[in-house]
Structure 1
Amino acid sequence: MPEGHSIHRLARQFSSAFAGARLAVSSPQGRFAAGAARLDGHVLETAEAHGKQLFLHFDHDLYLRIHLGLYGAFDFGGDETFAGASSIGAPRRVGEREVAGDDDGAGYAGPPEPKGAVRVRLVSEHGWADLRGPTACEVITGSERAAVLARLGPDPLGPDASASASVQEFVRRVRGKGSPVGLLLMNQEILAGVGNVYRAEVLFRQRISPWRLGRDVTVAEAEALWADVVALMNDGVRQGRIITTEPQDRADPAEPVPVAEAHYVYKRTGLPCRRCGTAVAGTQMGARKLYWCPACQAD
């Protein structure tokens, strides 16, 4: 499932490529035809993300709310003025290839014929975006958007992430629960945007057992967790991928980070810990695969 950094990249790309443009909105597969009709012909004013939720705000005060889930993904293209990722979401395209236009200078003739089950197609004068396979895709009002946001925890990529109020809200929510912190970090009502990769990696980096109960996490530990998530996810937005290892823990710190060296414990079950050599453990927690180092993260 795309984590929060990918959704914030989506919001930035929509703002860059489509904000201020009047969009033709359709549903080639037909499942979103009624919703598309409510947005068709209106101007996209802003795009914003909170955690894993994407909100596209149109000029008649309606929002297109999208949650990509496990299988949702956007494809993009356009003329020579369009520059951005060609695909964002899951299944991932390694590196989220950067392109500038569809036709390599051959001339833009509009969007291609829809391929597969395109739930929503958004088309401007200069570009297009196709959405496939989202968990949620609906037109909502401003009050309905506010209700969605009220259910979510603070976003490490939000504009107020460095504010004391955001830090303390995260600390309060984590330490107020008797569930394992490995579950809490995946709970969008505790922390918006973190998924399986960031969950495993930040707990390793902070040497906290995923089995430690939230109420047993100290204030200092919770504050450090927040700070690390903020830093790592901002790196993810900039780089278009999740890299959590430090240069000193890679074979060649001067070279670009290969996929095999991007993480400490995620998907490394049975391999030696990069810090202590202990075999990385893997099991299920909350219906998702959990990875941790039994030595570095001893309870």
Structure 2
Amino acid sequence: MKRPVIFLLLIVAGLMPMQAAQAFDEEDYEEILVYMRIQGIGAFEMPAYFSYSNNRLYLPVVDLFLFLRINQEATPYYDRLTGFLIDEKRLYVIDHASRTIQIDGKTIVLGEDEILRTETGLYLYTGVFGPVFGLHCTFHFRSLSVELKTDLELPAIREMRLAMMRQNVERLRGEVDVDTTLHRRYHFFRFGMVDWALSSTQITRSTTDTRASLGLGSEFLFGETNVFLNYSSRDGFNERNQHYSWRWANNQIKPVRQVRAGKIGTGAISSIYNPFIGVSATNAPTTFRRSYGEYTLSDFTEPG
């Protein structure tokens, strides 16, 4: 009589882990596409499951960790997920059968409605990612979007930051990876465009005001030439209201890259009521030099 009882107890003990995990019922969940916005990385679409019974969203752990470059390895039936979070010493284990997550030497027991397993992946409730992994997710039902914020330097964020730093260095060095280069062609004279305008304001028992303007743009002496002429019936053809300038630029000639002539801006901090007519030359390029990067300095010291 003892052997059948022992055999029956073994069968019940073998079924307990399977009953501990939540069973997946397609009628209770709906598979939807959510728009995932990750701070510092970007946005993309991701499949997820939504439960109408508890209004909770479940995200696929494997797909999310793959996008964030977090190390992970899943079993063939997605009942167990192992890996490490950023540091190889921070190992984690997500077990669907026991509804537990082991990380940083702690065992976190999940509720029945916080973990979900299907034939295609292992899913976790969005409220679990924040306290356990530091990935704080906020689900917006109206827009079907999830906003993820974290203070961790995830591998994906670190790779993007290093790529931006390399691009800034290459831009400062003038290294540009292009497939076709269109060189600038200089002309002694090449006509451009003409803009004109004419307006007249007439008021009873008042002076009539008529204004006319003419704008000319062309290439002259291998440089850019702009002329703006203005006429008013009140002031006439006042020289202060006329503008003309000539600008030559060539970033390949390092000693002198830009030359300006005509009415030019002085950049003075005081008020100048008359236009400044002259010539200016500089070796500054026409492009803007901008660089941004982050550097982490770490060291060890001893007291005394």
Q: TM-score range by the shorter chain?
A: under 0.3
Q: Greater share of helix residues, 1 or 2?
A: 1
Q: Greater share of strand residues, 1 or 2?
A: 2
| TM-score (ref. length: structure 2) | 0.26
